[in-house]
Amino acid sequence: MVINHFSYQKLFQGKKILITAGPTYERIDPVRFIGNYSSGKMGFALASQASKLGADVTLVTGPTSLQIQHQRINRIDVESTAGMYKACISNSQTASLIIMAAAVSDFTIINEQKRKIKKTSNKITLELEPTTDILKELGKNKKKGQTLVGFALETDNEVENAKTKLKEKNLDYIVLNSLNDPGSGFGTDTNKVTIISRKGQIFQSELKSKNEIAKDILITIIGHPSH
């Protein structure tokens, strides 16, 4: 993807963008949780690059040690999928572009324990139920002219699975990460992605820093409108 930073900068000026980042944690008890290995680096890179291009960014992030400061970034910290859902719904109506880069938990604990579960020699069983599919809900309620972007992390049949997700969740773009690509995925400072549009366009990147990938994603989306 070849881009010209300055030719696109005016297209982002004043644009309201909602971005999610990091994992979500579902509490088992006061000291334990179900989570994943997401560091939040890709979402934070997207927020940073969008703000540098002149956009007004709302960044909804799950638990992470990452820090970001910019006058055009409003950071909202959440812990659970329910918290992220609430923050996304509250901020989605004013956003013209929504990029869901967070790795949201698919399941939550049915009976969260209020006290620490003591270690015993006996087995314990955790009962789980599905969390709200935030991306699908945003797709159902997408406004005219709003662009919705999802992420897919796949290990098998990557492109086919990503296309299915794009269609089922009413997305305009999906950004595919493959765990089969060295240097990409959770926790790395680099990434390699395939961007697929609802029109069937496919844009592929080389392995780059996540900041460079973030810029590529933003400018590909703004430069190839799906509407």
Least Cα distance to 191 among 202, 174, 200, 204 occurs for: 204
- Per the document, the length of the chain is 227
Options 36, 91, 161, 170, the catalytic residue: 36
The CA distances from residue 85 to 14, 61, 82, 173, 184, in Å, are 24, 11, 5, 20, 26
Q: Is 122 a catalytic residue?
A: no
CB 206 within 8 A of CB 212: no
3-state helix, strand, coil in the chain (%, to 5): 30, 25, 45
Helix (H, G, I), strand (E, B) or coil at 132: coil
Identify which of 175, 173, 176, 169 has the alpha carbon closest to the alpha carbon of residue 198. Answer: 173
Q: Is residue 219 classed as helix, strand or coil in its secondary structure?
A: helix
Question: For the residues of 5-30, what is the DSSP string, one character each?
Answer: HHHHHHHHTT-EEEEEESB--EEEET
Tokens of 113: 């324990």
Give catalytic residues, as residue numbers: 36
